[in-house]
Structure 1
Amino acid sequence: MRRSLGRYELTHELGRGGMGVVWAAYDRQQGREVALKVLSNPGYGSELSTTERRFLREARLTGRLNHTGIPAVYDHGSHDGELFLVMERVPGKALDSVLKEEGTLGIERAAGVARKIADVLAYAHGQGVVHRDLKPSNVMVTPADGIKVLDFGVAAALEPRPGETRFTAANATPGTVIYMAPEQAVGKTEPASDLYSLGCLLYELLAGRPPFTDGSPFMLYHQHAHEPVPPLSSHRPGIPAGLKRLVESLLEKEPHNRPASAGEVRALLEAWAPARSASRPAHPGLAEAAARRRAGRPAQALDDFHALLALTGLEPLDVLAARTGAALCVADLGRTREALEELRHVLAGQSGLLSAADPIVLDTRYEIAVLLVRTGDRGAASELLRELALQESALNAGDDRHGRSSGLLRRLSRMT
């Protein structure tokens, strides 16, 4: 039955879960199809206004996330006592539906799905946002085999009240506890908690079932916190040893024993699901300007890059390449912090067009690390270089990038 929620006309239900119902809707004001999630009443009675304020705060935060693997948030608010979130409508199927239809996924495809999710988590964690409710029903697989991670911030907005553990809260469900890190179930959420949930999800992609499935929410929590994870080989033979070790490390009981970051997980998964690089001819003026910079003429090269940026019809990747070249010229001219800020903006643009392992992205991240060293922030530089060293170790020995980050790390350690 059709109904309206403010300017949104709800047409049909797309799905439902422990936190609400998702509707296909039409935004009459903007003239576009959207997905509208109506949040379940948390059951706090007179405290609904507190929950509402928390929800609106989280929606504002996550609405600023800008990544190709995260649906855009268009609107949020409340209408007649109902909290709602309006998002980009993503075509495709939820990952739990894919698993029901296809069963276990092939090694490369499973690792590829996990790699794309890890890329989204690396971005979100870098923005200070933890998902808190990562599970197959919150991951969409698009027709082009892309990935969209849904519901950032929704779980955070509906966290239990102080003193109330997550697994006994009114809004918790067994379907959530199945993928929940031990520390999160008792109210201690951190980025490593998302990595545990990713481990549960990857385990299910490979084994056909999550690591723990039996019992009440409390019993599931007990299993996550205290019982050993059933070996993947007991469900499926032939999984590469390195991939099994990665899953085991993601499912460590203690957060500090898991991989250091989602970026590290993304890099490790490249071994089984290499990202495809975009190959395309670059504008010839880019090479000419870069040659002038390498020849020790950064001021002239900077003018050349600015001239390229003034052209109309320049390809998006060429625009980003010109901005990169200009930033490096600015760094050569002594304006290091200005160059660092611009390269960070460039990297955000590249992340929407290229894979995390694309050589262009690796080069930009390496230049950011170099500039971090110049500003004296050796801690941040070392962390970035360690992630890059893992990715570069998978490159061919003849690639010029092979070993450069580990080499710079060694020089930094000697300096300290």
Structure 2
Amino acid sequence: MQARDRIGDRYELTYPIGRGGMGQVWAGYDERLDRPVAVKFLRQMEVPENERETAVKRFRREARAVARLDHPGVPVVHDLGEHGDDLFIVMQLVPGMMLADLVAEQERLSVGQAASIAAQVCTVLAAAHAGSLVHRDLKPQNLMITPAGVVKVLDFGVAALIGPAEASRLTATGHTLGTPAYIAPEQAAGDAVGPAADLYAVGCILFEMLVGHPPYEGKTALDMLRQHMHSSVPVVTEHRSDVPDDLAHLLFCLLAKGPADRPAAAAEVAELLLPFAVPLPGSAGRAQAGASGSIGGARGGEVAERARRRPPQDLAVLHARAQELAEEERFAQAAEVLEQALEQAMGGSEPPDPRVVPLRIDLANLRMLAGNYRQARRDFEALAHGLERSEGDPDLAQHCRQQADVCAAELGEEAQTSTDTSLG
């Protein structure tokens, strides 16, 4: 796969955001509906021939099962199809920050933030478990926090639809499903896995958010699996004194060795977490745009690469590409390309080079044409304020004010001149 490839006669690939044992995840655009998407591929030729038929069946089941899981914490599935020898799922592209990156950046989250994230995950699990879906591979790399503070559970897929008998066969051949740092004892032992295994993983993730590392750490995966099965349950208050006793008790129960000793249901855990939860700050979602799904290998492998930004491109090429897309009335995609061009042109300079003003006006116009009136209004108001402050072209400043008013009218809001923004 490469950038600009067209899939299913309507999806244009833009840049890769993940790779695993069986394929790739790409960011892309739906040309017909002018919206960003994630395209997840199963590359059949990369799957061992004796496992190919099973992998294809799983991939199709994943798309259908996740499409039925109607919950705001699960990325939307848009399409399923074939491209040459490959299968693909088209899903919602989720902007935000992976929980793994947030923990790496902050080391320890506040009690309120950690409780809020865990509670949101449990509401997703409650819906999934009601539909007989078990994730089996929850981990910070599969949790995305959007700029609005909504937690999205990613990769609700390949492992979720494998029955106990199939899981036992995989374990017998050394292919245990799940990630060692977050795997339930019964899962590590190759026993039947149910909703309680997901709750155990929530416990591991909650412990890591509060302490800065998972409850068990080993030099090898096998050592870690043995600790999950046989080591005593760690007490979070021994690592962090400000964790309330009731929350510490809940976490201890989530990490119980036996499934029957854990809380009975995800909804119950969410309810117990809510008293400790606080709204997530906007900074939690400020990082990269991430994929709505990752690639699970035929043996439950995890994604090898983190989501990353698109590589730099020539400014003139980007501008020409934006114009080409605008002529095709793909305004949202054109705006994204132009935004990338603008970032490169500005280079982080403060105040911005006046030569980028035409680019910013073009971007605001594209956002307005795409129906993103709120962001376009902010853009036009910032432009007008910056031009007035710098004694720039008064006619251009007035034009920007008028465009901002048009956006306000589309939003059903009164025109309101902003004075707290700048051209930067």
TM range (shorter): 0.5 to 0.7
**Partner SS state of residue 129, structure 2:** helix
Counting only pairs closer than 5 Å after superposition, residues 72-91 of structure 1 correspond to structure 2 as: 72-91=76-95
Whether 1:253 aligns to 2:262 is no
Pick aligned residue for 1:164 from 157, 166, 169: 169
The aligned residue for residue 239 of structure 2 is: 235
1:61 shift after superposition: 1.6
Assess if the C-alpha contact under 8 Å between 2:113 and 2:279 holds in 1.
no
1:197 is the counterpart of 2:201: yes
Residues 170, 176 of structure 2: 8 Å contact kept? no
Structure 1 residue 33: deviation in Å?
Answer: 0.9
In structure 2, the partner of 1:153 is 157
Answer yes or no: is the 8 Å Cα contact 1:51–1:158 preserved in 2.
Answer: no
Q: What SS does structure 2 have at the residue aligned with 1:140? A: strand
Instruction: Specify the alignment match of 2:315 in structure 1.
Output: none
Following TM superposition, by how much is the alpha carbon of 1:38 offset from its aligned partner in structure 2, in angstroms?
2.5
- In the alignment, the residues of structure 2 paired with residue 229 and residue 80 of structure 1 have an alpha-carbon distance, to the nearest angstrom, of 49
Asked if structure 2 preserves the Cα contact closer than 8 Å seen for 1:167 and 1:218, the reply is no
Given that 1:96 and 1:137 are in contact with CA atoms closer than 8 Å, whether structure 2 keeps it comes out as yes
2:137 aligns with 133
* CA positional deviation for 1:105: 0.5
* Residues 1:138 and 1:166: Cα distance change in structure 2 (over 3 Å): farther
Alignment-mate amino acid for residue 36 of structure 2: E
| Contact 1:167/1:221 (<8 A) preserved | no
How many angstroms does 1:34 deviate by? 0.3
2:182 alignment partner, SS class: coil
Partner of 2:350: none
In the superposition, relative to structure 1, how do residues 131 and 218 fare at CA in structure 2: closer, same or farther (>3 Å)? Answer: same
Offset at 1:168? Answer: 5.8
- In the other structure, the counterpart of 1:183 is 186
Q: Which residue of structure 2 aligns with residue 64 of structure 1?
A: 68
What is the aligned partner in structure 2 of residue 6 from structure 1?
A: 8
Q: 2:239, 2:27 → 1: CA distance? A: 37
Residue 129 to residue 165, structure 1, CA distance change in 2 (3 Å): same
Q: Deviations over 1:251-293 (max 9, x none)?
A: 11110000000011011002211689xxxxxxxxxxxxxxxxx
- Secondary structure at the counterpart of residue 215 of structure 1: coil
Contact 2:159 2:177 in 1 (8 A): no
Matched with 2:295 is: none
The CA deviation at 1:109 is 0.8
When structure 1 is superposed on structure 2, of 184-193 and 41-50 the one drifting more is: 41-50
**SS state of the match for residue 219, structure 1?**
helix
| Structure 1 counterpart of 2:29 | 26
After superposition, what is the alpha-carbon deviation per residue over 1:207-228, rounded to whole angstroms, capped at 9, x for unaligned? 1111112132222211111111
Equivalences for residues 351-366 of structure 1 within 5 A: none
Structure 2 counterpart of 1:357:
none
Deviation for aligned residue 1:230: 2.8
What amino acid is the match of 2:96? G
Residues 11-410 of structure 1 mapped to structure 2, 5 A cutoff: 11-17=14-20, 20-39=23-42, 43-157=47-161, 161=166, 163-166=168-171, 169-170=174-175, 176-185=179-188, 186-273=190-277
Change (3 A) 1:234 1:5: farther
Range with bigger deviation, 77-86 or 157-166: 157-166
- Say if 1:94 and 1:137, in contact at 8 Å, map to a contact too: yes
How far apart are residue 243 of structure 1 and its match? 0.9
**CA-atom RMSD in angstroms:** 2.6
Shift of 1:39: 3.9
SS at match of 2:169: coil
Distance in 2, matches of 1:167 and 1:137, equals 26
Question: Given the superposition, is the C-alpha separation of residues 37 and 258 from structure 1 closer, same or farther in structure 2, using an over 3 Å criterion?
Answer: same
| TM-score, normalization by structure 2 | 0.59
C-alpha contact (below 8 Å) 2:133/2:161 kept by paired residues: no
TM-score (structure 1 length as normaliser): 0.60
Per-residue CA distance 1:333-384 (angstroms, 9 max, x = gap): xxxxxxxxxxxxxxxxxxxxxxxxxxxxxxxxxxxxxxxxxxxxxxxxxxxx
Cα drift, residue 20 of structure 1: 4.8
Letter in 1 for 2:272: L
Alpha-carbon shift at residue 163 of structure 1 (Å) = 4.5
Q: Does structure 2 retain, via aligned residues, the 8 Å contact 1:94–1:141?
A: yes
Greater relative contact order structure (CA < 8 Å, 6+ sep): 2
Gaps of 5+ in 1: 277-416
Residue in structure 2 matched with residue 356 of structure 1 by the alignment: none
| Stretches of structure 2 lacking an aligned partner (at least 5 in a row) | 281-424
Change (3 A) 1:86 1:170: farther
For residue 270 of structure 1, give the secondary structure of its aligned residue in structure 2: helix
| SS of residue in 1 equivalent to 2:95 | coil
Q: Alignment identity in percent?
A: 44
Task: Quote the offset at 1:233 in angstroms.
Answer: 2.9
- State the 1:183 CA deviation: 1.5
The structure-2 alpha-carbon separation of the partners of 1:85 and 1:18, relative to structure 1 and needing over 3 Å to count, comes to same
